[in-house]
Chain A
């Protein structure tokens, strides 16, 4: 699917710093965790934007900011032309209807004391105008059918379902309010391999059926490639590279993206001895005290003096897409 539709989500210079405090009574701020630090992108109707990055890079904080579960330190999130970061009360509630989330862990994200019908129907309790009370049961059964579950199981409890089926329940809950945008935070990583493909196919079918836009957060690069139209690579609170999926996977220009791609084990033993492997040294630095200039420079093999002094901006560089490296150079890591 090409991003044919109009722009429905606009994220501009989004920043979220969590204060670090010391002392119990007199809390003094001694610093900040820069979880998301200046992220900008657009999302179009019916499009999937994949977000990849390692733990601690800020991708889940980004999801929370887009859901307005966290308030940004600065920057804007605009949905259909309306700025969500400034919205309050009833206005915010209305905007939230339009953007829903599917969580990673289907075992902890469903209340074990509620029936499936109550879980999927709960959004209707909050947004009472979507479905009148008498109509809700039928709506929930429709949703169960849409995600491939038996509508007669409406009175069952989550523990009576398998992991893959629970994830379907989570997806049904996300669909209940007919949103235009769904944020999927690692939707298949907790599932068995043979079940992952089933859930991926379901997400793709729903996208086509309801013209949904997805923000697909995951660490499995082959899964992200399969479903995404465009991919954003995050490192330590910033997007370091953003482009169409084939640009990122075949002409990646940022050294971090190249290292990430080369680290992914290829499920084919053919030629494994000759495969190019970029093994990064060390762990990502702490987001409380990121390196000056380019944040990746402490682990980068291309780093020079300029990388410490000047922060590389996310702009069109080698490869013809956005990347944030002074020494960007398009390189096909996977087929090399």
Chain B
């Protein structure tokens, strides 16, 4: 540690103790005509190699903005990062120059987007778009790039890849397009893969295929995976640990089994309780009352208090810190002990 060998990559110099990717107290705000929107308010999480972190939240919870800040693809302005660090192998990426950053983006940290049709360029063939990764980042010739593109299309199991490499995105089905997106993202063997709602636009049987493919690619290459989703089912299937976001903050983080068994925040508990279950048929579903808050006009104290069935007086006035429950769990609720025991009512 104190004496890194000279030929290591500068980014790997301090890599021994730190997790692969650390998001530390990240804040993101947007200047809008209506006022300042604090989309991300002190989010922290870590991802290790080979680990799957699911970031769960509804629209407007800040889960995608956090990912965009990691990737460095936020439009600044209107966005601004007033505070926080994103450390990849120990280096704060937010302090790097644009040029140094683009060396990491796409190569070492890659991202898959929700809507593969709009993420692909309709006027270039898919082979051209996949091979662009190799031409731009590796300086390969067109021919070598195309050969690599076919290899990758095989790897994400697109049938008859050789014949389809010169097809355009519109000639593929939704599931196949998402496979092409995945092929592009894993082209340069990234160490971290961020998947932003990768299966939301797909049918369930195709969703199962894609999640299966992602899990297999992750096993093969030991990538760290950040899965951004609103689907509690997908999370339960693939994640090792979960961070639940609400109104720009992480309200609970936990290993996946713990969170589903004993949620420690009223919001996560409410989400789990509102899933239709077989034994609840014909009964009224539990519903979290009210609406997610307007980010321009955030509630005082705990942002969840207007919807919380367990609300007490101090919830309205005091912002709860992220209490540590154990080494691996945390909850941003003043009464997390009571939520855990089920003694609040």
Contact = CB atoms under 8 A, between A and B. Distances in A.
Contact of A54 (B204, B260, B291): B204
B278 A265 contact: no
A192 B176 contact: no
A221 B207 CA distance: 14
Contact of A279 (B208, B272, B277, B281): B208
A13 to B, nearest CB: 27
A226 B236 contact: no
A277 B208 contact: yes
B104 interface: no
A222 B285 CA distance: 12
Contacts of B204: 54, 219, 221, 260, 263-264
B205 A54 contact: yes
Interface residues of B, number: 49
Contacts of A23: none
Interface stretch (B148-156, B180-188, B226-234): B226-234
B297 interface: no
A240 to B, nearest CB: 13
A272 to B, nearest CB: 6
A124 interface: no
**What is the predominant secondary structure among interface residues of chain B facing chain A?**
helix
A111 interface: no
B275 A222 contact: yes
B116 interface: no
A193 B233 contact: no
Given A197-B288, A249-B278, A54 B231 contact: no
A225 B276 contact: yes
B35 interface: no
Contacts of A200: 276, 285
Q: Which of A198, A262, A269 has the most CB of B within 10 A?
A: A269
Nearest to B285: A197
A283 B176 contact: yes
Nearest to A265: B233
Contacts of B257: 269-270
A266 B287 contact: no
Nearest to B237: A265
B256 interface: yes
Interface string B259-288: 011000000001110111110111011111
Contacts of A259: 205
B170 to A, nearest CB: 15
B208 A194 contact: no
A21 interface: no
Nearest to B60: A192
Contact of B236 (A221, A260, A268): A268
Interface of A: 1, 54-55, 162, 164, 192-198, 200-201, 204, 219, 221-223, 225-226, 245, 249, 259-260, 262-270, 272, 277, 279-280, 282-283
Given A54-B206, A270-B257, A279-B205, 4 more contacts: A193-B230, A226-B281, A263-B207, A265-B237
Q: Which 4 A-B pairs have the closest CB atoms?
A: A265-B233, A226-B276, A197-B287, A263-B208
26 contacts: A55-B174, A164-B291, A192-B292, A193-B230, A193-B232, A194-B270, A197-B274, A198-B289, A200-B285, A219-B204, A222-B233, A225-B278, A226-B280, A259-B205, A263-B207, A263-B208, A267-B233, A268-B236, A269-B236, A269-B239, A272-B237, A279-B208, A279-B209, A280-B205, A280-B208, A282-B159
